[in-house]
């Protein structure tokens, strides 16, 4: 049997959808028994949400005041301790997981498997390399614990409807004090998280300026969508780099991706290759983005986008 422990990603109140996608991945491991670990200051709300995911056998809750903030240096020693008896430890290939999982692997003395996109066996997985242009099969020694990040863009969220037991646990580890949260700053937009949003509206260098990018925000707000950007737009200073989509940004798989003024360089396409429907708006009819787009509109984005938003109504 494969005993799999998934480290939950959450904000203290809401479970991130990336956790449910990790459950989908874990369920494909032969003989999988899946548990979810919630580390939090108060994990009751998040634990209830995790318990409702179909396929989860048990939810472990490790509560400590030091866990109120998701600091990798604080969480990793606890996960490594609680991983005793498990054959696999999975986390999402998000900013959270990429920070935390390598530390867990180091503490357990094993190598990490990154970006699992398919399960071939209990210790064999596929992952993309060369900006997604090739797929590598990775095999982990059968006697080693598997520590891995899951490419959430490659998996659908597990269905709701579960009723897992919730159990409080104590890792018996004194959280390290050398790392602490001093302050948090960042804009609160009220928009969905870019990496897990069902709809994303993204802009490129063709927007021309910070002011020009406002039409992207406006359309996204009208649609209840997240906002993304190409690297060119980020490098030009139109938007912060946490909105960057692509090989060196975020890999996403929304149901709908609207690319506005984005040419479609291979590095950008790597980040959206798993999107279900791609809509492209660009004045250059020969732009590479149209080769991947399901729907393409050739024309001036500053005319098309306002009209598009108008058609959406109130």
Beta-sheet strands, E only, within 41-117:
56-63, 88-92, 112-116
User: Would you write out the chain's pLDDT as a tens digit for each of its 314 residues?
Assistant: 899 999 999 999 999 999 999 999 999 999 999 999 999 999 999 999 999 999 999 999 999 999 999 999 999 999 999 999 999 999 999 989 999 999 999 999 999 999 999 999 999 999 998 877 889 999 999 999 999 999 998 999 999 998 999 999 999 998 888 888 888 776 667 788 898 899 999 999 999 999 999 999 999 999 999 999 999 999 999 999 999 999 889 999 999 999 999 999 999 999 998 899 999 999 999 999 999 999 999 999 999 999 999 988 75
> Could you identify the residue written with the tokens 């935390």?
100
Residue 247 within a domain: yes
3-class secondary-structure state, position 15: strand
Per the DSSP assignment, residues forming a β-bridge with 40 are: 63
Q: Residue 216 maps to which CATH number?
A: 3.40.50.1220
First to last CA, the chain: 53
Residue 16 within a domain: yes
| Interaxial angle between packed helices 301-312 and 214-223, expressed in degrees from 0 to 180 and rounded to the nearest 10 | 20
User: Are 264 and 230 spatial neighbours (Cβ–Cβ below 8 Å)?
Assistant: no
Task: Determine the pLDDT at residue 129.
Answer: 87
Task: Determine the pLDDT at residue 188.
Answer: 66
Q: What share of the chain is helix, strand, coil (3-state, %, to 5)?
A: 30, 30, 40
Q: Same structural domain for residues 155 and 8?
A: yes
- Write down the pTM of the prediction: 0.84
Number of domains the chain contains:
2
Pairing of strands 2-7, 277-282: unpaired
Q: Same structural domain for residues 145 and 12?
A: yes
Task: Determine the pLDDT at residue 8.
Answer: 98
Of 272, 271, 289, the C-alpha closest to 280 is 289
Q: Same structural domain for residues 211 and 140?
A: no
Output the CA angle 13-35-84, nearest 5 degrees. Answer: 115
Of 134, 136, 132, 130, the C-alpha closest to 113 is 136
Report the 10 Å Cβ neighbour count for 65.
Answer: 9
Q: Same structural domain for residues 88 and 143?
A: yes
Residue 288 within a domain: yes
Domain region containing 46: 2-168
Q: Same structural domain for residues 164 and 212?
A: no
Task: Determine the pLDDT at residue 1.
Answer: 87
Structure tokens at 104: 């867990």
Residue 232 within a domain: yes
DSSP 121: E
């Amino acid at each position: 049997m494969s005993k799999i422990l998934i480290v939950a990603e959450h904000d203290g109140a809401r479970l991130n959808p990336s956790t449910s996608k990790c459950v989908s991945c874990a369920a494909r491991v032969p003989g999988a028994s899946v548990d979810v670990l919630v580390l939090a200051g108060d994990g009751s709300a998040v634990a209830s949400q995790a318990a409702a995911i179909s396929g989860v056998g048990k939810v472990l809750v490790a509560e400590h005041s030091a866990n109120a903030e998701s600091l990798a240096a604080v969480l990793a020693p606890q996960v490594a301790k609680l991983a005793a008896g498990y054959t696999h430890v999975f986390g999402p290939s998000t900013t959270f997981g990429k920070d935390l999982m390598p530390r867990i692997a180091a503490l357990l003395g094993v190598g990490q498997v990154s970006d699992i996109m398919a399960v071939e066996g209990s210790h064999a997985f596929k992952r993309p390399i060369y900006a997604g242009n090739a797929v590598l099969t990775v095999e982990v020694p059968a006697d080693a614990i598997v520590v891995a990040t899951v490419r959430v863009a490659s998996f659908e969220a597990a269905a709701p409807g579960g009723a897992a037991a919730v159990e409080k646990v104590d890792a018996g580890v004194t959280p390290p004090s050398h790392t602490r949260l001093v302050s948090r700053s960042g804009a609160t937009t009220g928009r969905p998280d870019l990496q897990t949003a069902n709809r994303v509206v993204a802009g490129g260098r063709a927007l021309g300026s910070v002011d020009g990018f406002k039409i992207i925000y406006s359309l996204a707000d009208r649609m209840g969508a997240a906002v993304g950007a190409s690297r060119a737009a980020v490098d030009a200073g139109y938007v912060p780099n946490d909105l960057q989509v692509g090989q060196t940004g975020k890999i996403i798989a929304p149901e709908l991706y609207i690319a506005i003024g984005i040419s479609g360089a291979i590095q950008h396409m790597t980040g959206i290759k798993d999107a279900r429907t791609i809509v492209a708006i660009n004045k250059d009819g020969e732009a590479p983005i149209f080769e991947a787009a399901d729907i393409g509109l050739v024309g001036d984005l500053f005319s098309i986008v306002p009209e598009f938003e108008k058609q959406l109504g109130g």
